[in-house]
């Protein structure tokens, strides 16, 4: 039986086991483990995996269940769809400088005045 001040804890991992999270029902991350396999992802893919795994661990803690028990029984949870990559915006190049015209071109040789 948990103590009065103790929050339920949930554990979750991604499909290939490269990201594992321990979280409280409040959403506090109590542990994060990354295997070398996790480093093969881009930084945005890894970020999405970590956040999705944190959400699952938090949900499991709030529901009072543990993914480790589900995985041991052979029924791993479905993974959420990865987020869409950020839209690339095409940058337009700066305008090219225009040739300057000499407005005050000296046109002849007479003396002034």
Encode pLDDT of 27-48 as tens digits. Answer: 899 999 999 999 999 999 999 9
Q: Report pLDDT for 110.
A: 58
What residue ranges do the domains of the chain occupy?
Answer: 9-72
| Integer Cα distance of 24 and 6 in angstroms | 9
Edge to edge, the sheet with strand 19-24 lists: 9-13, 19-24, 29-34
Please give the pLDDT value at position 104: 62
Q: Phi/psi at 19 (nearest 5 deg)? A: -130, 125
> In terms of pLDDT, which residue wins out, 1 or 46?
46
Q: How far is CA 86 from the centre of its chain?
A: 11
Can you give the pTM of this predicted structure? Answer: 0.54
pLDDT tens figures, 48-89 = 999 999 999 999 999 886 555 454 445 555 555 566 666 666
Q: Any idea which fold 9-72 has?
A: Ybab; Chain: A; (3.30.1310)
């Amino acid at each position: 039986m948990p103590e009065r001040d103790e929050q339920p804890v949930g554990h979750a991992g991604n499909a290939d086991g490269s990201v594992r999270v321990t979280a409280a029902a409040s959403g506090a991350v109590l542990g994060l483990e990354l295997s070398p396999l996790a480093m093969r992802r881009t930084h945005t893919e890894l970020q999405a995996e970590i956040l999705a795994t944190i959400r699952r661990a938090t949900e499991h803690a709030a529901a009072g269940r543990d993914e480790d028990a589900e995985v041991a029984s052979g029924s791993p949870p479905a993974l959420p769809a990865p987020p869409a990559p950020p839209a690339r915006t095409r940058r337009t190049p700066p305008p090219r400088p225009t040739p300057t015209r000499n407005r005050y071109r000296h046109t002849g040789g007479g003396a002034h005045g």
